[in-house]
A and B are shown apart, each in its own frame.
Chain A
Amino acid sequence: MANLLLRNIEKTYGGSVNVLKDINLDIKTGELIVFVGPSGCGKSTLLRMIAGLEKITDGELQIDGVLVNDIPPSERGIAMVFQSYALYPHMTVRDNMAFALKLARKSPAEIDAAVTAAAEKLQLTEYLDRLPKALSGGQRQRVAIGRSIVRDPKVYLFDEPLSNLDAALRVATRIEIAELKEQMPDSTMIYVTHDQVEAMTLASRIVVLANKGIAQVGSPLELYERPENEFVAQFIGSPQMNLLPGEVIETGETTVVRLDGGGIARSGVPTRDGDKGLRVNVGVRPEDMVPTDGEALFEGDVNIVEALGEVTLLYFRPEAGGEAVIGKLGGIHADLKGQRLRMTADPSRVHIFADGQSLLYR
């Protein structure tokens, strides 16, 4: 039920350590925004500035059109779920969830109704009178989520809420969060994670943070299919996109690049006449590589084969001076080890970057 506007947000710690600058972001009501980025890039810092736990050094933060830079967290209409759950250890599940409402001097009947409803939504009813230490990790995280639901906030903030859970529970809780979001289509959520799958499945839009700023904002598939720069291209997708250096030899609707490794790349990214001779990096995702007998992007010896069942990863031996290239084929191909393969890719799947920026976005 709220939109957020971040304008030129900047964060400097202790007057000299600049962590974030020039953050501009427009978050609409009902969106689930995911912040991703390498460790230490300032995801938590940005989230905590939105929460009000960290001072905004410069810039403006508006929630529903109201400037909230100097408004305390409890009055911003936000709720936060912490990585370590941050439950109050001396209070029962019920009291944990009721704490904010009690502080707000809500009537006991009102509090009870809110807690009961949240507990039902999260299947916590039978644990209401337990202390947090008598709960499993997944249950604790649900209590933490319940604690924010009862307050009926305008904006939910999650800081890596699932990273303390084991793999199976993480998947289950992720789906629960997705369902929760579905039940509350009007609530705005901001979610920080390291996990690509979480980001891709939950987000309406992903914000990739890097180098103190935003590298790209877009829907998960936009980021995957049309990365703006090499950083996003390599950050989204696993294994990461291959980058092969080369030189543009033909321009137009289809661009042709002669790669330094000897191959020829054809890309659907259009180029202008003046681009001929431009030094570029051609980007191809491992899963877009296919073996061929004809014209190839790349030819090399398969050094290591990782057969995962559903897919097989091929690691090519780096050519002299070149990068290691990774391919990903559907199905099981354990017999390819040691073989020499020629690989190509559909032109619509081939990206071109000059100076780190995609030529798509010129």
Chain B
Amino acid sequence: MHPALQGLITIIVGVGGCVGYYYLSNQFLDKVLFPARGANAGRNINRANMIRPWLFLAPALFALGLYLAYPVVETLRLSLTDRDAGGAFVGGANYAQMFAEPKFWEAMRNNMLWLIIVPAMSTAFGLLAAQLTDRLAWGNIAKSLIFMPMAISFVGAAVIWKLVYDTRPIEQDQIGILNAILLSLGAEEPRTWLTIPFWNNFFLMAVLIWIQTGFAMVILSAALRGIPEETVEAAIVDGANPFQIFFRIKIPQIAGTIVVVWTTITIVVLKVFDIVFAMTNGQWETQVLANYMYDKLFRANDWGVGSAAAMIIMLLVTPILVWNVYNARKEMK
């Protein structure tokens, strides 16, 4: 069958199925289970109304349970078993083994670096871009350009930046812009950027900052526009200069939004995988937790340690996620 036709049929069956489920289950509830007539009509209506939300939520709850809750439990179980021992329970042995590996601590250290730098830089650049483009006639064009990377997948972005950092032998033309600039400034040798330990982490982070700045800018720009103009004018009359207005009047008023943006990017960072996978695959001391987990799970086929790494990532993400949701809710009020 033609793939397009296949897709169309899938859509029709899927959407039709959903509509059918809601319509038929609702009919069943109202007409068969608790019909709104007879001696107990009033009681039946009340009962039907109590059940209805659960009926409608059921598919989502089922899917969430299957694809989110169950994997957590299963990962936890796997992290406590050993493949070589035929899946026997080994307690914390996988964790002990992992904590003894230098590569794990390298990933941990790098993740912390990512965690501090990427959200901070993305938010700062986003805020700067939002504030500066607001006044410009061509601000909207600038904004679109800054936002564009958001539309590129992480792997796509990684490939683009790999070309930026590309290195060719000295006798060939450099296609990496960084080396091209370096040589045109009179350097002797092109550099292999991604193999310079420690600093190469920052070259990888640049990719994510490039992507996330657009996100931060859009959200913060909306928040800046929500600030009452009169508070800014009052500050002008009070004698504040543009910097004081920005830092003492505007930023405090959008502090809640800044926290939400910051934590949202933090969660993205904790899960960062594609960029490292596509650019260095964790070599030259650029390993991160998610890539470490992937290595263990799918390369070494060691599901025990791989699951243990997954649990660590989850432990790190959860508190930030909770805080993020808390702040986002507060913002919406």
Contact = CB atoms under 8 A, between A and B. Distances in A.
A86 B238 contact: no
Interface residues of B, number: 17
B228 A73 contact: no
Contacts of A87: 231, 234
A75 B238 CA distance: 9
Contacts of B230: 82-84, 86
Contact of B237 (A73, A88, A89, A91): A73
Interface residues on A, range: 20 to 34
A151 B237 CA distance: 11
Contacts of A78: 237
A68 to B, nearest CB: 13
B108 interface: no
Contacts of A147: 234, 238
Interface in A68-99: 72-75, 78-80, 82-84, 86-91, 99
B233 interface: yes
Counting chain A CB atoms within 10 Å of each CB, the highest count among B230, B235, B244 belongs to B230
A51 B237 contact: yes
Residues of B contacting A: mostly: helix
Interface in A237-263: none
B253 A86 contact: no
Interface string A283-320: 00000000000000000000000000000000000000
A73 B249 contact: no
B113 interface: no
Give the most central of B230, B238, B248: most A CB within 10 Å. B238
Given A88-B249, A90-B255, A53 B231 contact: no
Contacts of A52: 237
A82 B236 contact: no
Interface string A12-51: 0000000000000000000000000000000000000001
Contacts, number: 60
B240 A88 contact: no
A74 B237 contact: yes
A107 to B, nearest CB: 16
A128 interface: no
A81 B231 CA distance: 11
A291 to B, nearest CB: 51
A88 B233 contact: no
B253 A84 contact: no
B311 to A, nearest CB: 39
A117 interface: no
B238 A103 contact: yes
B252 A100 contact: no
A74 B236 contact: yes
B239 interface: yes
B255 A99 contact: no
Nearest to A159: B230
A82 B236 CA distance: 13
Interface of A: 51-53, 72-75, 78-80, 82-84, 86-91, 99-100, 103-104, 147, 151
6 contacts: A53-B237, A73-B237, A74-B236, A74-B240, A88-B231, A90-B255
